[in-house]
Amino acid sequence: MSSDTALAAEPPTQGQDGSFTYDAFLSYSHQDGAVAAGIQKGLHRIGRRMGRLNALRVFRDSTDLAANPDLWGRVTDAMDRSRYLIVVLSPRAAVSEWVNKEVAYWLQRRGPDQLLMVVAEGHLDWDEATRRFDPDRSDAALSVLTEQGVLAAEPLHVDVSGDTPWDPQAPTFRDKVTDLAAPIHGKPKYELASEDVREQRRFRRLRRAAIAGLGVLTVIAVAAALIAVVQRQEAVQQRHEAVQQRNQAEARRLVSEVQPMLAGTHTGGSVRAYQQLLVGRRLAQTPDDGPLLTVLPEMVNLIKIAQGTDTVKSVAFSPDGHRIVSGGVDQRVRVWDAASGQQIGQPLTGHTDPVLSVAFSPDGTRIVSGGGDKTVRVWDAVTGRPVGQPLTGHTDPVFGVAFSPDGC
């Protein structure tokens, strides 16, 4: 017990059968804490069986004694509930009032039979004649251990002064801690050491098995991940193929409607037919340029319309695709035959600025136009005459016009 350390454990309680709470109590100076910690770890591990947290229950303090005024009572209570006392000796412990006090209490109450000593530093010299440690030649001996007749015989002591950093995994230090553990376990050292070796081998086998198991699980996990990746790639491929099949079917549909459009039996006209062929060509896996070449002559007529007028600002097809209406910078609205590219009738005049927007009514009998002159005008698509008066009220040019769905 250190003069500037305090208890880390809960106050021990003894069972009703009088059994001990601790197998060993560690008494040491706080300056020898590293040695005490190594001894405690060794006693916990040596002889430990699988499934148990510790092989032995060892009490060790860890903080300041002055923190609790009743600490001595708790210390003595813990010592009373311990089967063995292990004292760590050194020149520092030799001048520690508390370590000397703890050992003196133990010898008074329990005698020297369950007293074990560890030399962390310094020397011990036993005087058989006086049955004590010679105070002049033992710089690690406590004052109570130098009193004549206090010990019946030289107690067991283990010298670990050369075993820094006191790691229980180190073979030499572990062997010395086994010297301490054997009497506490109540077994010969060779028997405890043999059991410890068997348990270590068993632990290593279990650890290897666990590592192998983890390896198998890792392989299974990787395999499952690879399978998932393959399945995901297959699903992507299936979706891609489905999209291609859908696009191929849509391309066939678009191309199949082209000839009826060109023949006038299907609404849309040559421009719409050309547009559908372009879209179908893009969707098809193996584009066929034959239908596209068939429509090109029809497009020449539309080119004629554009070339035969001033700058065109807007165009629109009639609902049946047979006529085209255009509006231009020349302030006129013109109607064209979509098949031949020839103008139908005379230009529709009335706007005083460029015609910016045009549209057919749903039944194809009316044309509406919007111009830079801020007016909207309605025309008879057959006679070319204005229908009613211009619609005024806009304060800016009209860039878009449209009929209601019922044409009214």
> Which residues are tagged catalytic?
102
Q: Give CA–CA dist 268/399, Å, rounded.
A: 24
Q: Which amino acid, 337?
A: D
407: left (phi over 0), alpha (psi -120 to 50) or beta: left
Short-list 157, 177, 155, CA closest to 111: 155
Amino acid identity at 231: Q
Give me the residues paired with residue 84 across strands: 24
Neighbours of 100 (CB within 10 A): 20
Contact status, residue 358 vs residue 314, Cβ threshold 8 Å? yes
Amino acid in the structure at residue 375:
T
Q: Are 2 and 98 in contact (CB under 8 A)?
A: yes
Residue 118, helix vs strand vs coil: strand
If one counts every other C-beta atom within 10 angstroms of the C-beta of residue 172, the result is: 10
Cβ within 8 Å of residue 190, ≥6 positions away: none
Residue 378 token pair: 């309605």
Q: Is the previous residue joined to 112 through a cis bond, with omega within 30 degrees of 0?
A: no
Residue 233 CB partners (closer than 8 Å, separation 6+) = none
**Residue matched to tokens 């000397």:** 100
CB 35 within 8 A of CB 88: yes
Q: One-letter amino acid identity for 48? A: R
How far apart are the C-alpha atoms of 138 and 147, rounded to whole Å? 12
Fill in the amino acid letter for 374. K
Q: How many CA atoms lie within 13 A of 278 on its CB side?
A: 8
Beta-ladder partners of 216: none
Q: Phi, psi at residue 180, to the nearest 5°?
A: -75, -40
Q: DSSP secondary structure string, 333-371?
A: EEEEETTT-PEEEEEE---SS-EEEEEE-TTSSEEEEEE
